[in-house]
Amino acid sequence: MELIDIYDELNNDLGYSVDRKKAHSDNLWHRHASTWIMNDKGEILLQQRSKTKKKNPLLWGKTGGHVGHLETPLEAVKRETLEELGLKLNDRDIKLLDVYKSNSNEHYFSYGYIAFTNNKIEDFVLQKEEVEKVKYYKIEELEKYKENNSKDFTFYKWSNDSFKEQMDKLKKYRELYKKINIQK
């Protein structure tokens, strides 16, 4: 049983937790955390979800999951990244991008991060129950897939404005990351 904390519609902790399935079946407000992972070339790592996943099997997406009981979103994204990819993130490697409130029929607050790594594909240790494989993509490739409405990615359902906003933020970080690496 995976316990998650419950919040009100303003993201205030209500002081109790329930099983993740109950949170979804009762449509209770809870938290998710996910991260875009960028390498030193400015490419974004995506993971292909396991074929055994109930939701979005074999689709490509960023790393993340539910925020557990008494866990912060940052702790959750670090845990998920370690479990699913074998990548241990340090606080200096990860930055909060945004927090948004879902506007779908699911009630959750999503904490989005960006993390930086020099790992190559062969360096990742994949959790087979969660991940089929991983691949680095250029941001412009992801934009083309979205433009062509590719159904291969978990973000194909995102609004175009939301997706563009995310890609613009990633491009800004890519430029900052390049400047930092040039100065080293």
CATH number at residue 148: 3.90.79.10
Helix (H, G, I), strand (E, B) or coil at 44: strand
pTM of the model: 0.92
Residue 62 lies in a domain: yes
pLDDT of res. 106:
86
Distance between CA atoms of residues 116 and 35, nearest Å = 10
pLDDT of res. 177:
80
- The tens digit of pLDDT for each residue in 143-161 reads 999 999 999 999 988 889 9
- Structurally, the chain folds into a number of domains equal to 1
Residue 170 lies in a domain: yes
Helix (H, G, I), strand (E, B) or coil at 145: helix
Residue 42 lies in a domain: yes
Distance between CA atoms of residues 65 and 52, nearest Å = 16
Residue 6 lies in a domain: no
Picking from 43, 32, 48, the residue whose alpha carbon sits closest to that of residue 154 is 48
The mean pLDDT of the chain is: 93
Residue 116 lies in a domain: yes
Indicate whether 183 pLDDT > 60: no
- Residue ranges making up the domain that contains 38: 32-183
| Packing angle, helices 160-183 and 139-147, rounded to 10 | 170
**Residue at token pair 């409130």:** 101
Residue 19 lies in a domain: no
- The tens digit of pLDDT for each residue in 12-27 reads 999 999 999 999 999 9
